[in-house]
Amino acid sequence: MKVLVICSGGLDSVSMALRYVEEETTLMTFYYGQKAKKESEVVKRLADKYHLGFEQMDISSLKSIFGKENQLTNDSATVEDGYKKSVVVPLRNAMFLQVAMIYAYSNGFDKIVLGSHLDDCVLVDGEYAFPDCSPAFFKAFEMAMDMGTFRGEKHVKIETASLLGLHKKDLIQFANAKDPDILKETWSCYKNGEHQCGVCDSCRNRKAAFKEAGVVDKTEYEE
């Protein structure tokens, strides 16, 4: 089976990638102008260690489409502690998936895998905190891609941790059992410090999930 994993270098997508290291797997990572730049180094190390394919897609020339509002892509905006709508890069998964889907379709891949899990599907004020991480979005996207390609010729399935019924703690437990050395190297932080900050929304979720998983967190944090 040919598997294409959209891998940010965070623990969710790395854990999903570890499920497929025995398959003919390629890791695809994106640079879209985000502040966190250490993410892709983790993906490269993972690909080298398990002899997987590696594709780095530099789409940073499109950075201006995100405007000025977004904390993760606007260099003059500070990354705040805790969840704000402005940490959500609008339709980021749709953009990644579109590129990945064309690549998968054109290169004979059976499946695209993403790390989005059930804890990404929490509601804030009655809306999904990360709308393009919802299972409904992924199913609708898969269907749209089927309708936009030659019928019956190929079907590329989209698999996410959420569609498998997995929470972040399940991903940590799996990765810890499979490759604890890679797990501690994964990068979750929204910033680009020497170590992960420990206080941004993503770092907080990471710390909490390690506790919930009952796995010792060996990550080096700034605080």
CB of 18 within 8 A of CB of 174? yes
Are 143 and 137 a contacting pair, CB within 8 Å?
no
Rounded to a whole number of angstroms, the minimum distance from the CB of residue 188 to Zn ion is 7
Q: Is 183 in the site for Zn ion (CB under 5 A)?
A: no
What are the tokens at 140?
Answer: 């609708």
At 58, which helix (H) or strand (E)?
A: strand 53-58
The CB-of-50 to Zn ion minimum distance in angstroms stands at 27
Query: In the complex, what is the shortest distance from the CB of residue 83 to Zn ion, in angstroms, rounded to a whole number?
Result: 13
Burial of 100 (0-12, 13-18, 19+ CB in 10 A): buried
Among 13, 43, 14, 54, smallest CA distance to 180 is for 14
Phi (first) and psi of residue 82, to 5 degrees: 80, 175
Contact window for Zn ion (CB under 5 A) among 89-97, 99-107, 138-146, 193-201: 193-201
CB contact at 8 A, 146 and 106: no
Stretch in the footprint of Zn ion (CB under 5 A) among 5-13, 116-124, 182-190, 208-216: 182-190
What's the CA gap between 182 and 49, in Å, rounded?
A: 10
166 near Zn ion, rule: CB under 5 A: no
Question: Strand runs (DSSP E) across 133-216, as ranges?
Answer: 157-160
Q: Does 200 bind Zn ion (CB under 5 A)?
A: yes
Is residue 189 involved in binding Zn ion (CB under 5 A)? yes
Q: How many whole angstroms separate alpha carbon 65 and alpha carbon 72? A: 13
| 161 near Zn ion, judged by CB under 5 A | no
Rounded CA gap, 164 and 210, in Å?
A: 20
Residue 97 engages Zn ion in binding (rule: CB under 5 A): no
**Least distance to Zn ion, CB of residue 1, Å:** 35
Q: Which CB, 36 or 104, lies closer to Zn ion? A: 36
* Under 8 Å between Cβ of 172 and 215: yes
Of the candidate spans 36-44, 99-107, 141-149, 190-198, the one that interacts with Zn ion by CB under 5 A turns out to be: 190-198
* Least distance to Zn ion, CB of residue 219, Å: 10
- Taking CB under 5 A as the criterion, which residues in 29-68 touch Zn ion? none
Could you say which of 16, 18, 27, 197 contacts Zn ion (CB under 5 A)? 197
Find the part of the chain contacting Zn ion (CB under 5 A) among 3-11, 132-140, 176-184, 201-209.
201-209
Nearer to Zn ion, 183 or 197 (CB): 197
Give the nearer residue to Zn ion in terms of CB position, either 87 or 101: 87
Q: What residues line the site for Zn ion (CB under 5 A)?
A: 189, 197, 200, 203
